[in-house]
Structure 1
Amino acid sequence: MAKTTTRTFCFVLVMVLMGCCCSAKIYKVGDSKGWRTAKKGTYYEWARRKEFQVGDSLMFEYDGKVNDVTQVSSRFEYRFCNSLSPKAVYNTGHDVVTLTEPGYHFFITSNHSQCVAGHKIIVFVVHDHLIPPPPPPRKILPFEKDYKVGDSSEWRVPEESDFYSKWSEEKQFHVGDNLLFYYNDQVDDVLEINSDQLEFKSCDTNLISLTKPGIRYFITSKTGHCEAGLKLRVVVQPLSKSVPKKTQLSPFDRLIKWLHESFRPHPHH
């Protein structure tokens, strides 16, 4: 009986381990169209409908005689189709790239004109859900929160011009919080302007930290999009300090305390 139980346990354990190992997925980039020249935003739309995890793989299928897959390290290189210092280059025509780290992964073609036309893709990889990542240490700002701008609507021209105003008014932002901007960088961008609207600063990342109290303004530089409502005003509040309230004693408790202190025995000298 004991041997049967042991064998059953081992079988279940093996099946569980096989399930964990087989949970990784292989995504064919572009589905049936594969990795080829496409109009701007095509691969962005393909990637945003999927959730990539550590251990998943991207399969690039293309004509290796006329194209390649170039992995670059930064959003700057991706945006300007800069393949001079690639992280990796694949050119077999049937490449499988395993996503081993969480975060953003940038892929372009080294053919500059095709890349500018839209032949590139950003993939965002999360930790494997089977092994939740430990929470990051928060020594200085223990209450920071991440806010995805626009929630499911993300950062795009809204149907209602006051959409982002309403979205912001429903939140309470504090120093240390982060704004996450998700958008198609072939269509829009994020610009921050100061309160007098004279100085512009381009944001090359979609994560913006709120480091001090005050009012922050964000817009897009694309013609007509800002006028249509793609703009955001955020009021950042200072971190609230919890001050312990003084204990309020009832008259009876004050009497007991007075009696206790008045008739407390004093040490003899």
Structure 2
Amino acid sequence: MATKKIFFGLVLAVMTLTVLLGSCSAKTYKVGDYHGWTANYDMYYSWARGKEFHVGDSLIFNYDPNVNDVTQVSGGLKYRFCDSSSPKAVYKTGQDVVNLTEPGYHFFITSNHSLCTSGQKLFVLVVQEPPSKSRSSPISPPPPSNNKIVPVGKMYKVGDSRGWSVYNSYYYYRWSEPKEFYVGDNLFFQYNKDLNDVIEISDELEFRSCEPTSRVAEYKTGHDLIKLTKPGVHYFISLKTGLCQAGLKLKVTVRPLPQAVTSPNVPTIRLSPIERLNRWLRSFRPPPHH
């Protein structure tokens, strides 16, 4: 009888130790530290920079639930444009604990659009920690890169802050005229899908007359991302009654992608995925407030 008690006692001790060791490996981060979750230009990018987030870690968001929330969105575009439609999850308690259960990029914004555009948004890269490695293990460097430097495609939001909704014959001409578009760049059209659409056509005369007879493609989601895959002139109009005639039309000239430049005598700097995403997202941050 005494032997059984000792055996079960040892089993219980091992199970308890296992649970404690597992829980100690996970970390909890208070987002923004003592600032909490509030509108603050560039703070959350700086806060997350240098931290290593692993599956099993948790984020704590502290804020006023009367004016704020935490909205988890599904990708970089929704994060970039503060688009809280179709969120992955919404938290509203004011003291939210978000468990990071999956590896990959996780994007958080506030559904209060003015606060989001003022800088209240956060993205983190979560990695799966191998069981055989501890938190103190160094991260393996990226594999060696070749000596080609290839331009990265740019992202253009059509119409900038006014989107695809300006009824002015010269607005989109002036928007596109000083820009240089290359194969691989992207156009992002944002509009009310109940009132508008995007139609790509291939003919200059049809573009001028707003009477297309041949269509290359149609887009109707309200958040259309169009990749420019061919050089030449690309035409976009709206087919909703009267909108094209009112000026809702765009013409862009796409140049061939420049040939890769080789630099055998210059060391090549290869950015990690998180660094590339950082640069892309930082290029669309609002200007600092003085």
TM-score w.r.t. length of structure 2: 0.46
Structure (1 or 2) with the larger CA radius of gyration: 1
